[in-house]
Structure 1
C-alpha cells in the first residue's frame, strides 16, 4: 500500500468558524465525483478557463507541443525499476508508447550503457485491447528465481489497483494465476504458492478507505477463502503486506498503521506465526541488508539501556528474531545537525544512503564490520539533487541519479568501492551558464532560518516576475531539480519561464524533510502555522532584497492547501496563486476519500480541540466576500482518489458565490498526479504557464 500523500449565494463568517457541519455547506453536491450536475459545472469552468488561456491559439498549441517533446525526448534516461538477480527492469514511455513498455535487460550490459531490452508488457497495446487506460504501478517479484511477478495496474492512474500474476520467461500473464479485483491495497509473496494480500475489495476497510485485514491466499483457492493473518481497527489508517527480497529469499511483513506516522510491524514466520518487531511505532523500515532490518528513527528511542537519536539509522537481525532469539539493536548511522537522511537502499554487501545537507544532496555507502559500520563518501556534484534508484546483483551495483537546476539528470552506477561511472544522461536543453542559482536564508516569525533557492537568468538585473513553489508537509523535501523536469506545477515550463525573463524560487519551509524529524515536527498539527509563516518570511525576504517585481505562489496537494491558506491569510503578499490538487475544506477532509489517513499530520476536525486550530487556516472556510484576493488558477483530476476533487470544486464554487474571479481546470484522468501521460502533462503545464505569464508578466 502506498500512503502518501507526498491539497451561489454567499456563505461568509466574520471570523473562523468554531463549528462546521455538513448541512451548512451549499456546495456538497460538488463532492459527487461523477455526479451529472457536478461534471456539468466542471465542464463549464474548464471551457471558460481554456478560452481565457487561449488553448485554441497557434501559440498555445506550439507551446504545448514543445513541452511534450521535452517530456517525450528519446534522450530520457531508462532509470532501473528493480534488480532481479542478473537483470534490471524498467518502465519506458515515449511518444509512441505514452502508457509505457515494461521491459528487462542484462544488468552488466545496462551498467555499461549498452542494454538490449526485451519487452514484457506493452501497456498501450494492453489498454487498447482492454478498452482501459492502464497506468503502471510497479511489480513485486519472487526471489530467488524471479520467474513470477505480481504486476500492479491502475485504470486511469487512480490509487485503486488490480494485481495480476506474470510469467517473466513466457512474457505473459499466468492463466488461472493470482489476480485481484480492483481496489486499494497491496500483495506480497511468501512463496510460489502463497501470497499475502491486503485489499479494500469487499468493503472491509478502515475509515480512511484502506484495507483493515491481511490474509494468506493459497494458489488455486478463491481469494474470499484466504486465511486471516492480522486485523486492524476501523479507526486505523490501514494494514499493509510487504516482503523484502534479501539473501535470496523473501522476508514477509505485516504492518498495522494506527495513523499516518505510526506503524506496528510483524514478521511472518515460516510456520505462519507473527513476531513483533522491536522497533518503536514511530520508526520507518527502509530496507534489509542480508538479514538485518534497517530502520530510520523519527523520535528518540530508548532500548536495551541505550538511547538512539531521532534521525538515526538502526538495525536488528530478523533471522535471529524469527526463531525466538533476542532482537539486538545496533546503530548504523547518525546524521549531523545540518543533515537529513532521505533514502536508504541495500545492495548485496553495502547500504547506500542519500542525505540532504542544507538541502544539497550527498551519498554515502555503509559497510558492516565486526567493529561497527564504516562510512564511505560516494562523490556527487555539489548543490545537486541525488536520487537513489536500486541496488543489488552479484557485483553489488547501485544506481542513482544526480541533477541540479542547471544540470540535466545523469544516471550513475557504483560497484563496491569502485569509482562511480556514468550510465546515461539527459541531453541539455539549455546552456547552464544562462542561469544563476543562489541559496538564500530568510528568518521566520519565530527566528528560524528558512533556506530557499532563487533561479534567475544569468544576466538579469533588478526585480523579476517570480514563481515561488513550496510544499511544507509529510517529511517531503523540495530539491533543486532540472528546469525542464521540475515537478513544481509548470513542469518543463520552468525553462520557458526563465527564457521569458522570470525567476523561479523553491522555499524549503518547515513540515518537509529538509532537516530531518525536527523540521517536520515543527509544523505538525497545531504547529502548522509555522510553515505558513515560513512561506511569508521567504516572500518578504524576496521583496526586501529587491528580487521580485510580481510574486506568484505555487503548490500542489498539501502545497495546494498551503497556497490556499496564503491566499486567504496574506493576499497582500502575492500577485497570483497556482493551486494544484488541493486540500481546501480542512473541516471535512477526513471524510473525503483517503483524508482520514492524514489526521496524524493535520489533526482530527471532528475533535473540538483540533477543529479549533484547523478552522483558523482552512482555506475553504476562510474565504471572504469582501476580500481582495490575487488571481488564482485551481486544477485537479476527476480520477484523483487520494485528494478528493471536491476540495478544488468547492473552493472554486465559493469564490464564484462571493464574486471573486478564478480559473479552473479539471482533467478527467491522471489520479493524484493530475495527468496520465506526457500529452496531458504538457497541456496542463502550458495552461499554468500561460496563467503565470498573464498575471505576472502582463502577456
Structure 2
C-alpha cells in the first residue's frame, strides 16, 4: 500500500514515550535562587523594516562541535541544570518506574516482499529496535540488522529500510547521533552480510527499488562543506539510480531541478514497476508536482504529469495506464481520483468523493482501495472496490489510531497497527477477502490499561472555534489534579490517540494528560491547517491558551497545577504562549523548539518551513513573526512559570542555537524566581533515533521537574 506521505523535512516531534526518597514529594511555594552561568552579551543589532532588532546572543548559533566558547557555555548550562535536577526527589522514582514500563516487547508493522516478512522489534530496554525477517507468516524470526552493535552509546540507529521486490536484498539507512544525514548500505538477506555499496549525503529520501532488483532510486544533496554539514541550508536535492555493485560516483542522475534549487524530490515505483513517480515539493505545505519516468524507455526521459505546486497528490496504485491518486484539489479533506496517463492531457475522474471526514492515508491492497479516515481526530478504516463502491468498514477495538497499513496491490493480506492512549500498539493482519483482522503481535505491559480512561471533549477558542481535546487519567482521579497539556499545531500534522509507555509514569502517579488538537494541524483538513499558519498563526496560540483556561474552569486541574509541553513546532508553541500568558502555567517544557522566528530560514531544513511561518524577509510576514517569536518577546517584569527547555547538540533539523539563545534571554531577564533552565543532550538530534536509555533519563528529568512545580506527589514502588 502506498500512502501519501513523503520523506519531507517536517518540523515533527512526537510526544515523549519518550536511593529513592520514600516520602511523597511536596512542592515549595518559594523558589530557591539559582545562580545561572554567565552568558556574554554581544551588541548585535539589525534594522529590519524600520525596526531595530537586538540579537545579543547570536554567537550561540555557532556549532557546539566547532566553537569552544559555545561548547563551554553548553557544559556550564548542563552543570547548572544537573545540579538543580539532583534536588528533585521524584527524579529517581520516575527513572526506576520508567525502566519497568519500557521493558516490554514492541513490534513494528511487517513488510512482505518475496514471501518474506521484514519487521522491527525491540525486546524492551534495547536502545535501538532490531530488524528481523521471517521466511513465512508464522515462522521463526531471525535477526537481520542489530544497530545496538554499531555504537557503544547506542546513538547510532537504523533509519529507513526497504527490501527488494524478490526479498533477496535490503537497502537501509544508518543514522548517527540523531542527525538527519544518512549513510545508505545494502544487505544480502539470505546471508545477512552487507555488500560493499555505500552512499553518502542522503537526507529526506525514500529508498525505491527497481522491479528487477538491479538497484534502487534515492535522493541526495551535494556534499556540504565539512564545517557546515550540520548547519548549511539543504538545496539542490536530486534523484539518482544506484546499480548494485557500483560506486556512488557512477550513479545515474535521474531527475534534478538546478534552476529551482529549493525543490526537493521523493520517489515511488508504480505497482507494475514500469514508472518511477517523482513527487516534487518546495516546502512543507503538501503542494506537489508529479513527474513520471518511463523505465521501459532506456532514455528515462521525465514527463511532468501534474504541474504547478498547487495541490496535494498521493500515488495509490495503477493498472496499466490507469492511475489512482488522493488529492485535495477541489476537496480540502481529500478524495480519490483516477486518470489515464496515456492521454496527452490526462483528466481526473472522482472515484471516492470528498467526505466530511479527512483522508489520512490511502492505498491499493489486494485489488481494493483502503482509506484511513480521521473523524474528529480518531481513525476509521473503509474498504472500496476499484470503482469506489464501499465494501465495508474495518472493525476497530476502540477509539484510537490506525497507522502503517502495508500490503501489495495483488496480495490477499495486509498489516496495520492500532494504538490508543491506554492501548499499547498492537499489530493486526487483515484478510483482504473477508475483511477480518486478527492480532499478529500483541504486547504485554507492566501496568493495567483498564485503570485508565480516555475522554474526548470540545472547548471554545477565543474566536469561537470549536476545538477537540483528549483527556486521559486514572479512572479514580476525578478532582483537580496536576495536568500535562500537550500541543503541536502546525504543518498539517495531526496528533491522534497513541500509546506512550513514558506517559503512563505520569498518569499512574495521579497526573492528567491532555492532548489539544489545535489549529495548524490536519485534523479537519486544509481549512484547519490554514487556520493556524502564516497570518493566522496566533490562532494556534489562542487555541492552546483556551485549552488551559478550559481545564482550570472545568476543575480538571488547578490554576497552579498546569504544565505545558510540546516539541519542535510544539516547542515554538510553548515558548510563545508562555510569553503571552505566563500567569496561566506552572511549568513549561519546550523541546527542540523554533525560538528565533527572524532567522529560522537560514539553517539546514529551516527554509522549507516558510510555508507555515512565512518569510522573515517580507515585511508582512516579518510583522507577524516578530509579534510572537519566543526569543524576541520575553517580557521583563512578569512572573514566568518554571521552564526546562531541551535540545541536543546534533539536532540538524532545528539547530540548537534556537534553544541556546532563548535560554540565555530567559536567564538574563527579570521574570521571577522560578528556574529557567536548559537540558542539552549529547549525540542526539531532533528526536529520531534517540536511544532508549537517553529517552528514560530525559523523561525522568522532565516529569520530576513538572511534578515539582504542579504539586504532583510522587510515590515510589507503584
Which bin holds the TM-score, normalised by the shorter protein?
Answer: 0.7 to 0.9
How do residues 198-597 of structure 1 correspond to structure 2 at under 5 angstroms?
198-203=219-224, 208-218=233-243, 222-233=247-258, 236-244=261-269, 246-247=271-272, 249=273, 251-261=275-285, 262-270=287-295, 271=297, 272-278=300-306, 281=309, 282-288=311-317, 290=319, 293-300=323-330, 309-316=331-338, 321=341, 327-337=346-356, 339-369=357-387, 372-392=388-408, 395-418=411-434, 419-482=436-499, 484-485=500-501, 492=502, 494-549=503-558, 550-597=561-608
CA distance in 1, matches of 2:51, 2:687: 30
Deviates more, 1:567-576 or 1:290-299: 290-299
Q: Secondary structure at the match of 1:683?
A: helix
Note the 1:186-205 alignment, pairs <5 A: 186=205, 187-190=207-210, 192-193=213-214, 195-203=216-224
Q: Partners in 2 of 1:17 and 1:505 — Cα distance?
A: 39
Q: Distance in 1 between matches of 2:556 and 2:457?
A: 12
| Alpha carbons of structure 1 residues 670 and 348: separation in structure 2 relative to 1, 3 Å | farther
Task: Kindly tell me the number of residue pairs found equivalent between the two proteins.
Answer: 661
Which runs of structure 2 are paired with 1:9-48 in the superposition (5 Å)? 24-34=55-65, 35-48=67-80
- Note the alpha carbon deviations across 1:599-629, whole angstroms, 9 max, x for none: 1111011112211111111111111232221
Give the drift of 1:598: 0.7
Give CA deviations for 1:620-664 in whole Å, capped at 9, x if unaligned: 111123222111110011111111111111111111122453121
Of residues 628-637 and 541-550 in structure 1, the stretch that sits farther from structure 2 once superposed is: 541-550
Q: Secondary structure at the match of 1:422?
A: strand
Whether the aligned pair in 2 keeps the contact of 1:12 and 1:625 (CA below 8 Å) is no
Q: Which has the higher contact order (CA 8 A, sep 6+)?
A: 2
CA contact (8 A) 1:465 1:697 kept: yes
Deviates more, 1:38-47 or 1:600-609: 38-47
Could you list the per-position Cα deviations for residues 461-482 of structure 1 after superposition, in whole angstroms to 9, with x for gaps in the alignment?
3322111101111111121223
Match of 2:199, SS state, is coil
Post-superposition Cα deviations, 1:442-498, rounded to whole Å, max 9, x if no partner, equal 11122110011122332233322111101111111121223x43xxxxxx1x22222
Kindly indicate whether the alpha-carbon contact (under 8 Å) linking 1:141 and 1:149 is maintained by their aligned counterparts in 2. Answer: yes
Q: CA deviation at 1:133?
A: 4.3
Q: Cα–Cα, structure 1 residues 254 and 463, in superposed 2: closer, same or farther, change >3 Å?
A: same
Query: What SS does structure 2 have at the residue aligned with 1:495?
Result: helix
- The structural deviation recorded for 1:382 is 3.3
The separation in 2 between residues aligned to 1:106 and 1:226, in whole angstroms, is 32
Residue range with higher mean Cα deviation, 235-244 or 450-459: 235-244
Partner of 1:116: 140
Match of 2:680 among 649, 654, 666: 666
Rounded to whole Å, the distance in 1 between the matches of 2:103 and 2:414 is 26
Task: Give the match for residue 633 of structure 2.
Answer: 622
| Structure 1 segments unaligned to the other structure (5+ residues) | 110-114, 301-308, 486-491
CA RMSD of aligned residues (A): 3.0
1:174 aligns with 2:166: no
Whether 2:129 is the aligned partner of 1:100: answer: yes
CA distance in 1, matches of 2:496, 2:362: 17
Residues 71 and 461 from structure 1, CA distance in 2 versus in 1: closer, same or farther, beyond 3 angstroms?
closer
Separation (CA, whole Å) in 1 of partners of 2:548 and 2:329: 31
Q: 2:99 aligns with which of 68, 74, 80?
A: 68
Give TM-score, length-normalised by structure 2.
0.85
Contact 1:244–1:251 (CA<8 Å) still a contact in 2?
Answer: yes
Matched residue of 2:91: which SS? helix
Quote the offset at 1:250 in angstroms.
5.9
Report what 1:90 is aligned to: 119
- Report the alpha carbon displacement of residue 509 of structure 1 after superposing the two structures with TM: 0.4
Distance 1:2 1:278, change over 3 A: closer
User: Any idea what SS the aligned residue of 2:385 has?
Assistant: strand
TM-score normalised by L of structure 1: 0.87
Q: Is the 8 A contact 2:644 2:677 kept in 1?
A: yes
C-alpha distance after superposition, 1:46-101 (max 9, x if no partner): 222222222897x6345323313322313x3x223422132211122335742332
Q: Secondary structure at the match of 2:423?
A: coil
Distance 1:540 1:11 in 2: 39
Q: Distance in 2 between matches of 1:9 and 1:692?
A: 29
1:391 Cα offset (Å) = 1.6
Q: What do the CA deviations read for 1:135-154 (whole angstroms, capped 9, x no partner)?
A: 111223332x2323321111
Tell me: CA distance 1:231–1:157, structure 2 relative to 1, closer, same or farther (3 Å): same
